[in-house]
Structure 1
Amino acid sequence: METREIEVSKEPFLAMAVLCERVLEEKDGVLSLIRIVDRLVHAAGPEGPEEMPAILAKLVMVLGFKSGAVHGKRTVTVRLVDPANEVKGEWTFPVLFEGEDKGANLIINMSLKLEKEGLHWFDVMLEKKLVTRVPLRVVYMRVVSESSQKTTTQSTQA
């Protein structure tokens, strides 16, 4: 039987990085993530503005790390980058790693003001080194009913 020969990281392992609507944490520390999301659709009626107005979104980011060979405190930073590549928010958290399979979960409640349609990224960094990116696509839709479409078509032809 072969033995596994790979170089093991000297950094903590990322076990999960997720956006969701709610997190339940049981007394034993087990997490249940409710409604995992990577897309928000903002709908407006036919009279809605051409460009998406700013929307407020309440989301929870859950980050789970496993210590591996690491012992001690580290800093985790989450940075929100909008579709124009502008940084719109940054959150920093101290995390204690105790080695081996012991983990550290971060549950980050966020109230976000999203001003642009398109792909937003949450950059997750450990000691200023990028560990992963979590996407959030924001879609703006003007909903036009069938009757208002007819009205629009008729007025365009007149």
Structure 2
Amino acid sequence: MLSLGAPGGTGGTGGSNNGGGTGGVGGAGGNGGMFFGDGGAGGVGGGGGFRGAAGGNGGDGGMLIGSGGAGGAGRAGQLGDPGGAGGAGGMAGAIGNGGDGGAGAASTGSTGGSGGKGGNAVLFGDGGNGGNAGPGIPPGAPGTGGNAGQVLGQNGNNGRP
């Protein structure tokens, strides 16, 4: 039986005015502080197995001011195995940008990994960009861009196919 490998650890949560920690291999980024601080980035997909592994999701920003963390990139599998998907970007606080989605991993002889979705902004800020699709047969799906803030901001771009 093939081992898929253990998932990575989760990044630590930031204090009330600090950003969240970066996720371990394949783990999610920590959230920002309750009111202030950016979310930490998700870790890249973990190893240890033959199948591609997904990247960790980015942490969310603090409720008032803070941007979402970026999603981690997926990890490629062995020959003939699907590529890992990119992690989703974290959601922003009331003021801040959504995190970008992670890129999907390439695959040789199987489906490429899908790009992660960009995180949403809430009131003021731009949505995060979607992650690029991983090449493969067929390629993975590109990640969709996050939504702009309701008062001011721009939608994130979709990832490249």
TM-score (norm 2): 0.27
Structure with bigger strand share is 1
**TM-score, normalization: structure 1?**
0.28
Greater C-alpha Rg:
1
